[in-house]
């Protein structure tokens, strides 16, 4: 099966995921996690990328990033290589850290910005043992999960300097106490209802309405299809 094409343009919004090679852990301790976030912050600053959300799990991570310069590839190349170099030095290893390429889901910002952020923030409870718990217990896990940008959406005291909180909170009344409470309330509703975006993904790499999908196809994919047809592939 052909790999999804990387689509890049100024202002594009992506859900990024990467998993450890052979599903092994990419974080062995909190020092690794702190270094990962430091490298993420430095890379975002260097490439002028906006980080809206993140969640670190044991063997993978999730990011919601926006690229005003249309430079996702350069940003991710620097970010992943730098962390891999750190991890290999730190743990005296020389193997691949990640399982293949990172995955990038291109998102229609106007339609799915908020739901993509909440989907990412719910990842700590998408673990089999956690799913068996009551709704209240699942919420306790979310509220107390340290390696996520969610605490900063609920309270300014839990914030990371490199995360852009205001853009998503604008949909809930702004970066105000009322807006943060509204976002928290929506997360509380999402837990029992379940928030899935997988059934809305088009062609493994697009999340958006018909108009957005048509625009992406006409703008970025038509030329590729024409070239493949001309070459007989």
Q: The pTM is what?
A: 0.91
Residue 223: the pLDDT is 53
What are the pLDDT digits (tens) for 32-54?
Answer: 999 999 999 999 999 999 999 99
Helices (H) and strands (E) in the chain, counts: 10, 6
User: Does residue 189 carry a pLDDT above 90?
Assistant: yes
Q: Are 140 and 79 in contact (CB under 8 A)?
A: no
Q: Are 107 and 207 in contact (CB under 8 A)?
A: yes
What are the pLDDT digits (tens) for 75-114?
Answer: 999 999 999 999 999 999 988 999 988 999 999 999 999 9
- Rounded Cα gap, residues 8 and 232, in angstroms: 26
Q: How many CB atoms lie within 10 A of CB 97?
A: 20
Domains of the chain by residue range = 12-209
Per DSSP, 232 falls in state T
Domain boundaries 12-209, corresponding CATH code: 3.30.70.1290
- Rounded Cα gap, residues 148 and 56, in angstroms: 6
- Rounded Cα gap, residues 84 and 25, in angstroms: 12
């Amino acid at each position: 099966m052909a790999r999804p094409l990387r689509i890049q343009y100024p202002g594009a919004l992506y859900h990024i995921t990467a998993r450890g090679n052979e599903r092994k852990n990419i974080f062995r301790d909190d020092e690794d996690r702190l270094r990962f976030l430091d490298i993420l912050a430095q890379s975002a600053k260097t490439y002028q990328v906006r980080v809206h959300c993140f969640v670190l799990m044991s063997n993978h991570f999730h990011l919601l990033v926006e690229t005003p310069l249309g430079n996702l590839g350069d940003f991710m190349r620097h970010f992943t290589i730098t962390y891999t170099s750190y991890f290999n030095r730190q743990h005296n290893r020389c193997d691949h850290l990640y399982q293949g390429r990172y995955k990038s889901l291109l998102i229609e910002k106007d339609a799915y910005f908020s739901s993509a952020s909440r989907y990412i923030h719910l990842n700590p409870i998408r673990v089999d043992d956690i799913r068996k718990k009551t709704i209240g217990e699942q919420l306790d896990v979310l509220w107390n999960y340290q390696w996520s940008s969610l605490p900063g959406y609920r309270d300014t005291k839990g914030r990371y300097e490199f995360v852009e909180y205001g853009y998503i909170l604008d949909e809930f009344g702004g970066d105000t106490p009322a807006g943060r409470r509204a976002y928290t309330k929506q997360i509380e509703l999402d837990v029992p209802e379940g928030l899935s975006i997988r059934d809305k993904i088009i062609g493994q790499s697009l999340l958006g309405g018909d108009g957005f999908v048509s625009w992406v196809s006409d703008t970025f994919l038509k030329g590729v299809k024409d070239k493949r047809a001309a070459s007989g592939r």
